[in-house]
Structures are given as C-alpha cells and as structure tokens.
Amino acid sequence: MDASQRRGWFCMQAQLQQDLEQISREAAQLIASARTVDELRAGESRITGKEGPLGKLLGQIGKLPKEERGPFGAAVNAAKKKIVEQFAAARAALEQAGDQQAATGVQTFDSTLPGPVVPRGSVHPVTAVQWEVEEILSRLGFVVVGGPEMETEYYNFEALNIPAMHPARDMQDTFWLANNWLLRTHTSPCQVRAMERLGAPLRIIAPGRVFRYETEDASHGNTFHQLEGLMIDRNISIANLIAVMKLILSEVFHREVKVRLRPGYFPFVEPGFELDMQCNICGGVGCPTCKRSGWVEILPCGMVHPNVLRFGGIDPQAYTGFAFGMGLTRLAMMKYGIRDIRVLNSGDLRPIVRPEKRLGAAIVEKE
Ligand code: DAH
C-alpha cells in the first residue's frame, strides 16, 4: 500500500464509521418507537434487509480494492450483528411483558380516570306530584290513607250512592273480577272506608292507582292515578272547598292557575262540581290533551252527599264535608308538559319526546 492508497483507506474508514453510526442511531429510534413485536420485526428488516442501509453497504464490497474488502466487511458485519442483537433483546422484552400481563391479568390502565357514569334515575312524575300534594295538604292537617285496588261493588259503588243504573257500573267502564269484585274505578271507595275506621271530624287524602276498561288515547289510559280528598267537620261549606282547591293548584304550579267551576254530577256529592284548569300544554288554545277545548278536568269535587255520610256511620245532621277526586296523572301531565298519557307507563326512560317525533313524521298535529 503506497501513500495515496493509505490515504484513501483512511478516508474510507472514516466514512464507513460515520455511516455505521448513523445506521445504529436509526435502529435505536425504531426500537424505541416500536409498540409491538411485529413493529420490531418490520424495523429490523428495514435496517438489515438487502434494500436497507446495511444491505447496501455489504453490496458495495465487490467494488472495493481487494485489500479493503476484508476490513470493510468485518466492520459492517460487526455493526449488523450488534443491531440484530438489539432488536432481538427488544422483542424478548416486549414478549415477556405481554406474557406477564396475560398471566397476572393485570391490565395497564389509568386507575385515576373517573369510572363510567351510572344513571341515577328519579321518581316518576306522577309520584313527584303525589308527594307534593301530600305535603301541601298535610300542612292543612290531612292524613294520608290507603285502600285496596281490588274492591267490592259495595265500596266502589253502593256506599257511594251510585245506583245500579249509573253508567259507571257499566261493563264498559269497569274491570270486573270473579264474585263481583272489581278493580276500583276511582279512589272514592277510600272515603267510606276512612269514615268507618276514623269517624268524624276527618281530614284524609287517599292517593292511588285506579283502572278503567277504556280505549287508550293521548288523554285516556286504562290505569292511572287519582288522589281522593275528604274533609268532614261541623259547618264545612263550599267556601272551604274552593279555598282548598285553589290552594292546591297554586302551590303545585307555583303561580295563579286559571280555573273554572261548573256543575258536575257525581252521585256521592251534592252539589257536585267540575273544577277545570286552563290547559298548561297549549295555553288554552286547544290540543289533543285537552280534547281541543282549552280546559282540562282536573278536580271534580262537591259536598258529601248525606247518604254517603250515613253509609260511613256519620250523622249528616251534625256534620257536613267536602270531597274531591284529583286526577293525579292529569296533574303531572299538566305540570311537566307531557302530551301523551301513554308514555307514563311505557317504561321508556328517555326524555319525553312528542309522539309525532318518535314515529317519524307519521302523525303531524296542527295546533
Ligand atoms: N270519583 C270520581 C271519578 O273518578 C271523581 C270525584 C268526583 C271524586 C267528585 C270526588 C268528588 O271525591 O267529590 O270520576
């Protein structure tokens, strides 16, 4: 090797050194960024494969002067061996971590993240209104009583002065059971049961489920809730009745509610009234919920018929009283703007949507 050959040899050595260092840096980067064994394999063949930087260097050997081939090949192969070993070690480490996770079942997850949100639910709208009315009336000294949903003809009709010819006794309105028992069609049977048990003076409310054999639509269900009220004392008058009714409605709606009083016939009261409130859903303009009248029957009421007092064992000469049968389901619909009674028992917990939206544009109502 003469002087110029020697110089060339040194230059080649320095260049090769630089190239190999660059290649090993690339390899280290690929190892550090690989997340899976497959990624490591791909990275390794990118560096050491025929088309990779190491492969290309090895391909140059044939073009070198004879005396340079040996040391050049030795340097490249030494670098390649080191890189192959580094990839193999990284693969082994990843595989071991995977095995450990599978064996111990320990997941790598962030335990400081909040857990999934559990929906907490809330009371049913009818229950919410029921509790509210119970609270309002308990402030006036009314106590809450119950009664059976499966009733006798006596308490549901007879003791309430409902004659055999009354339409309420019709097969179409009542679910009759065996032996002339029935599913109570209203909460009014609780009146006579309470009079029998507690006597006069008396202030009770009886909320509960009632049943009607009816075709269902937006404002009629076969199962709904009422709240019966009864106040019996000396000198109870219609003025007391109206005062209590107004108090209930203004408290429930937190505002003055427009009401109208019209005569109503119920065999167990005399005189009897229908107390209607202006429809809260359409504001009195008319919609399916109020049967397009703008008014909703919400509080039928009246002065207790002397016959009913007698059935309950109370002397009508000494005592008078008023009664009301509030439509709790209707009240909840008015308060929360629920347009269709059927969603209340549907079990669908999504926010209430207008029925025409649920059915696509199948039902389009014009108001
Ligand atoms: N029980 C009646 C019904 O379901 C409603 C009713 C009307 C109850 C007048 C009363 C009352 O207490 O006084 O249709």
Long-range contact list for 128-133, CB < 8 A, 24+ apart? Answer: 128/332, 129/252, 129/328, 129/331, 129/332, 129/335, 130/207, 130/225, 130/227, 130/328, 132/251, 132/252, 133/205, 133/207, 133/227, 133/248, 133/252, 133/326, 133/328, 133/331
Which comes out higher in pLDDT, residue 319 or 16? 319
Q: Please tell me the distance between residue 301's alpha carbon and the centre of ligand 1 in angstroms.
A: 6
Helices (H) and strands (E) in the chain, counts: 11, 9
Task: Outline where 187-300 has alpha helix (H).
Answer: 189-198, 238-253
Ligand 1 interacting residues, C-beta cut-off 6 A = 186, 188, 228, 266, 269, 272, 300-302, 323-325
Say whether pLDDT at 365 is over 50.
Answer: no
Given this model, what pLDDT does residue 359 score?
38
CATH 3.30.930.10 fits 125-345, yes or no: yes
Q: Which amino acid is present at 219?
A: S
Say whether pLDDT at 233 is over 90.
Answer: yes
Given this model, what pLDDT does residue 342 score?
86
Given this model, what pLDDT does residue 166 score?
75
DSSP state for residue 176 in the 8-state scheme: B
Residue corresponding to tokens 């308060």: 335
Per residue in 257-274, is it b (16+ CB within 10 Å) or e — as a string?
A: bebeeeebebbbbeebbb
Q: Please tell me the distance between residue 350's alpha carbon and the centre of ligand 1 in angstroms.
A: 33
Radius of gyration of the chain (CA): 44
pLDDT grade, residue 241 (50/70/90)?
A: very high
The ranges assigned to domains in the chain are: 3-104, 125-345
Q: Please tell me the distance between residue 187's alpha carbon and the centre of ligand 1 in angstroms.
A: 8
Mean pLDDT (whole number) for 270-274: 95
Which comes out higher in pLDDT, residue 353 or 110? 110
Q: Please tell me the distance between residue 288's alpha carbon and the centre of ligand 1 in angstroms.
A: 23
Task: Outline where 49-149 has alpha helix (H).
Answer: 53-59, 66-104, 125-138
Given this model, what pLDDT does residue 216 score?
84
Say whether pLDDT at 204 is over 80.
Answer: yes
Given this model, what pLDDT does residue 175 score?
92
Mean pLDDT (whole number) for 328-354: 77
Mean pLDDT (whole number) for 99-105: 69
pLDDT tens for 163-178 read: 777 766 765 589 999 8
Which comes out higher in pLDDT, residue 117 or 298? 298
Mean pLDDT (whole number) for 6-24: 79
- To test the pocket of ligand 1, the residue of 145, 183, 186 to mutate (highest count of ligand atoms within 8 Å of its CB) is 186
Alpha carbon distances (Å) from 198 to 126, 302, 320: 28, 21, 15
Say whether pLDDT at 357 is over 60.
Answer: no
Q: Please tell me the distance between residue 339's alpha carbon and the centre of ligand 1 in angstroms.
A: 23
Given this model, what pLDDT does residue 358 score?
36
Q: Count the residues in the chain.
A: 367
Tell me the pLDDT of the chain averaged across its residues: 85
**What SS3 class is residue 120?**
coil
- Which of 10-19, 51-60, 242-251, 325-334 bottoms out in mean pLDDT, i.e. has the lowest? 10-19
The share of the chain scoring above pLDDT 90, in percent, equals 43
For 304, the token pair is 């207790």
- Asked if 140 and 203 touch (Cβ cutoff 8 Å), the reply is yes
pLDDT tens for 63-93 read: 888 888 888 888 888 999 999 999 999 888 8
pLDDT tens for 124-135 read: 899 999 999 999
Name the residue at shortest CA distance from atom 7 of ligand 1.
300
- To test the pocket of ligand 1, the residue of 160, 161, 169, 188 to mutate (highest count of ligand atoms within 8 Å of its CB) is 188
Say whether pLDDT at 221 is over 90.
Answer: no
The predicted model scores a pTM of 0.63
Q: Which amino acid is present at 328?
A: L
Mean pLDDT (whole number) for 186-193: 97
d(CA 150, CA 308): 20
Which backbone phi and psi does 219 adopt, to 5 degrees?
-120, 5
Given this model, what pLDDT does residue 366 score?
35
